[in-house]
Chains A and B, each alone.
Chain A
Amino acid sequence: MDGAVIGIWLAALLTLGIMSFVYRDNLYYKICEAIFIGISAGYWFITFFWDSLYRIAWIGIVHEGRYVLLGGVILGAMMLMRLFGKIGWIARWPLAFIVGATAGLKMMVYFTTNAMAQIHDTVYDTVTAFSGGDLYNLIGRLVILLGTVTGLIYFYFSKEHKGIFGGVAKVGTWFLMITFGASFGYTVMSRMSLLLGRIEFLLTDWLKLVK
């Protein structure tokens, strides 16, 4: 029996172990779960060790003399200080650096891409759709515009949702519900795909029932 066959049997038994949870929580499932978590943690540790610490930091600094990388190494080492009770506060400095840098980048890109650019395109596409002559496109654009405006009104809390304002906010709620429904539908589709991948593995690679 070669390594591949052993691997397939092992993968199949572990898959069945995880699937056994649909019947009820059991020891077989718990063992498979523990193996999965352990291997995942080990894999991530090894990946980051070789990719970041060795391939980038060690080779970069020691072999290529890119001393600017020392900054990252020092910040990384400071992060580990949280493991030591008394000097744990040192870990806040690299954390502040990460939060600051990420917030700076995210704030800018979200404002330009998700706010400004999207608003521009929503308005621009609706205006151009009127002169385009394509009725289907025009209706689609008007629906997007209606959804955007009513959705925004729903999240406007400085005025009580009553009368016409309340009615428009209600339309916004419907748009949100449809969006959540579509999102949920896609999520179900994705989860089915994951299960499908495992079932295909069991039927094809393990049991050889499918070509």
Chain B
Amino acid sequence: MKKYQYWLILVALIIILVIVPKPLEISPTASVIVTILLGLALIWVLVLTIRGHLIGRRVVFLFIGASLALPFFMNFEMPFKISPEVKTLYDALAKLPPGSKVLAAFDYDPPSAPELQPQADAFMAYAFKHDLKVIIMGLWPQGPQQADMAVAKALRQPEIRAKNLRYGVDYVNLGFQSGNEFVIQRMGTSFSGMFPRDIYNTDYNKIPILNGVENFSNIDFVFNLSSGYPGTVEWVQIAVDRYGVKLGAGNTAVQAPSVYPYLSSRRLTGLAGGMSGAWQFELATQEPGKASTYVLPQTFSHTVVIAFIIIGNAALIVGYRRSKRGEA
């Protein structure tokens, strides 16, 4: 294929996508047919590979793209089961009486938003509906901005809007503080020392929700959303082990394996890991959001990745046998 032909296909695709009726949704029967076609295409690739015709990397990208995009239009019900780690996270939140002060540490930035923002949205809506007082902070510069988005989304819900929640009284955003784990360490003795003002430059002592909040001993629960360093590991090491904080966390899938040991030793109350954790957290809090939409495309893409691992291994075995035959 010539170079300009690829561009023509791309332009045609964009034109089709622009003129197609919106929103586009395909029936359950059509969804099944599309899934079967995708499966057959993968089997065809496997057969080609076994017969010695190796496919190019662009075909793999095409399959991944299709497996991520097509399920958005499909009508499938996903079977769900809430894992013990998400259940314990939810249980810890559910046990908090109205008026409890929850410190929400937003330690991530926009690239991790697909996994963590649904958790932030669900947490914020749940906290506001159950009259928890939320104190927001971030060890990542963009974390508090992500928190603002979750707050704005929660406040748009009629049930929450009816509560007339007030900034400074029901929730506050202390903003970002540089210093990584040293910030947590210092907060163990003085919150105001690390956050003398909130994001609107209001003095710490003039914010009603922070009255009597001197250090971690005045906080009932810490909820940490983390995508790396500094994050949940540092919160466990310092806030939990040194100051006895009760901590629940939502993590990106990359980080989750490094946090699981803390869960089994009960240093972490609960954990929502990756997209599946976010989805389960939404289900547990009964706040369906983007993770519920994302879970089907992710399931499809994982299936395709597994299929290509099998195909890749088939190619390896075929190549090995061929080279052996060649040697003989």
Write the A72-85 contact mask toward B (1 if CB under 8 angstroms, else 0). Answer: 00000000000000
Question: Size band of the B side of the interface?
Answer: 35 or more
Write the B41-66 contact mask toward A (1 if CB under 8 angstroms, else 0). Answer: 00000000000000000100100110
Cβ of B254: which chain A residues have Cβ within 8 Å of it? 186-187, 190
**With contact pairs A196-B301, A199-B297, A209-B73 given, residues A22 and B267 touching in the complex (Cβ less than 8 Å):** no
**With contact pairs A193-B294, A199-B297, A203-B69 given, residues A210 and B23 touching in the complex (Cβ less than 8 Å):** yes
Question: CB < 8 Å: which of B61, B182, B256 contacts A186?
Answer: B256
Chain B interface, DSSP helix/strand/loop, else mixed: helix
**With contact pairs A196-B298, A200-B294, A209-B24 given, residues A55 and B73 touching in the complex (Cβ less than 8 Å):** no
B162 close to A (CB within 8 Å)? no
One of A44-52, A149-157, A166-174 contacting the partner: A44-52
Q: Judge whether B141 and A183 touch: CB under 8 Å.
A: no
Question: CB < 8 Å: which of B266, B275, B293 contacts A193?
Answer: B275
A2 close to B (CB within 8 Å)? no
Cβ of B18: which chain A residues have Cβ within 8 Å of it? 207
Question: CB < 8 Å: which of A59, A101, A189, A209 contacts B275?
Answer: A189
Residue of B nearest to A122 (CB): B265
Residue of A nearest to B309 (CB): A188
Q: Judge whether B72 and A190 touch: CB under 8 Å.
A: no
Size of interface on A: residues with Cβ below 8 Å to B: 50
A144 close to B (CB within 8 Å)? yes
Write the B271-306 contact mask toward A (1 if CB under 8 angstroms, else 0). Answer: 001111000000000000010011001100110010
Q: Judge whether B23 and A44 touch: CB under 8 Å.
A: no
Nearest CB in chain B: distance from A146 CB, A: 14
A121 close to B (CB within 8 Å)? yes
Q: CA A55 – CA B141 in complex, angstroms?
A: 13
Q: Judge whether B290 and A200 touch: CB under 8 Å.
A: yes
A122, A186, A188, A211 — which one has the most chain B CB atoms within 10 A of its CB? A186
Q: CA A122 – CA B261 in complex, angstroms?
A: 10
Q: Judge whether B264 and A200 touch: CB under 8 Å.
A: no
Question: CB < 8 Å: which of B20, B58, B114, B297 contacts A23?
Answer: B58
**With contact pairs A55-B197, A199-B65 given, residues A210 and B24 touching in the complex (Cβ less than 8 Å):** yes
Q: Judge whether A189 and B274 touch: CB under 8 Å.
A: yes
7 residue pairs from A and B, CB less than 8 Å apart: A51-B175, A105-B185, A192-B305, A193-B274, A200-B297, A209-B20, A210-B72
Besides the known contacts A48-B141, A121-B264, A199-B65, 16 further A-B residue pairs in the complex with CB atoms under 8 A apart: A43-B141, A51-B176, A105-B182, A109-B181, A109-B237, A118-B265, A187-B253, A188-B305, A194-B112, A200-B72, A200-B290, A200-B293, A207-B22, A209-B20, A209-B72, A209-B73
Chain A: residues with CB nearer than 8 A to chain B?
22-23, 43-44, 47-48, 51-52, 55-56, 59-60, 64, 101, 105-106, 109-110, 112-114, 117-118, 121-122, 125, 144, 179, 182-183, 186-190, 192-197, 199-200, 203-204, 207-211
